Structure 1
Amino acid sequence: MGEWALVCVVAWFVALSVYDVRWRRLPNWLTLPGAALILIAAALAGRGAPAAVGAAALFALYAATHLLAPAAMGAGDVKLALGAGGLTGAFGPDVWLLAALGAPLLTAAYAVATVTRRGRTVPHGPSMCLASAAAAALVIV
């Protein structure tokens, strides 16, 4: 992964995380273009198929969760799953699995640690971003 791509992904993850913490939502104008760029970059790097599989798999898991329990996961998280799944899928199934398992664990740990007020939501986007970045970093570094 080129340095410029790394900077762009980190900036995208930071923007998503800040937005989700502040407004408790992930807008389409942040999630979808980033996912598209990740899939295009992966294809150009010769990793298009694993990225597409990773994006589809994580999207399917998150979409199923959202459909079964809409209060548990927002639609923005489902759309972010395309980019996060594509990024981690491009690095291989082990990276994808680490990020896919790490994100809900990070969100749960944050919820327990902060003991949020009743009715207050816990943003999941930052955990998705952190887990994806950390899992990818294990391969990059």
Structure 2
Amino acid sequence: MLGGALIVVAAWCVAVVVCDERHRRIPDHLTVPALVGAVAGALWSAPAVLLGGVAWALFLLCGRGIGGGDVKLAVPLGIVAAAAGGVGAVVAAVFLAALVTAVRAWGQRRAVPHGPSMVAGTLIAVVAL
């Protein structure tokens, strides 16, 4: 059962990254179901995990150049990070996402999409912690 869930999450991550890289936006049909599912799962199992989504979303709302898709993506990623490793994982995921974006943007003349970096930062934080 867990293997099937991991395959679905991995496929969703790939879809988010590919859409954001190609079109510079993350469509609602990818973010909204994940957001609703993550919030529902957190409410059902561990309401304190919702703080991961709130902390991540607040960080993103303060940033410049962050789109609505990134904000909607932040909530499920923050909840996953919080569920996997608590507040430390959320902080690590936010830091790693910013670092990955900075590295990707180095020497570029135009902005790079932040969604792929958010996914990468969260996955690294979850696996490492």
Q: Same fold (TM over 0.5)?
A: yes
Residue matched to 2:39: 39
Q: Separation in 2 of the partners of 1:82 and 1:106?
A: 19
Matched to 1:27, the amino acid is: P
- The answer as to whether partners of 1:28 and 1:76 remain within 8 angstroms in 2 is yes
Shift of 1:13: 1.0
Residue matched to 2:47: 48
Give 5+ residue unaligned stretches, structure 1: none
Q: Separation in 2 of the partners of 1:7 and 1:138?
A: 19
Whether 2:112 is the aligned partner of 1:122: answer: yes
Give 5+ residue unaligned stretches, structure 2: none
Q: Separation in 2 of the partners of 1:3 and 1:98?
A: 25
Residue matched to 1:95: 89
Q: 1:1-141 maps to which residues of 2 (within 5 A)? A: 2-44=2-44, 46-50=45-49, 52-65=50-63, 69=64, 72-91=65-84, 92-112=86-106, 115-117=107-109, 120-139=110-129
Shift of 1:56: 1.0
- The answer as to whether partners of 1:39 and 1:87 remain within 8 angstroms in 2 is no
Q: Separation in 2 of the partners of 1:3 and 1:42?
A: 20
- String of CA shifts for 1:37-84, please: whole Å, max 9, x gaps: 22333444x33321x11001111111122xxx3xx2212111111111
RMSD: 1.7
Q: Percent identity?
A: 37
Aligned length: 128
Matched to 2:93, the amino acid is: A
- Higher relative contact order (Cα pairs below 8 Å, separated by 6+ residues): 1
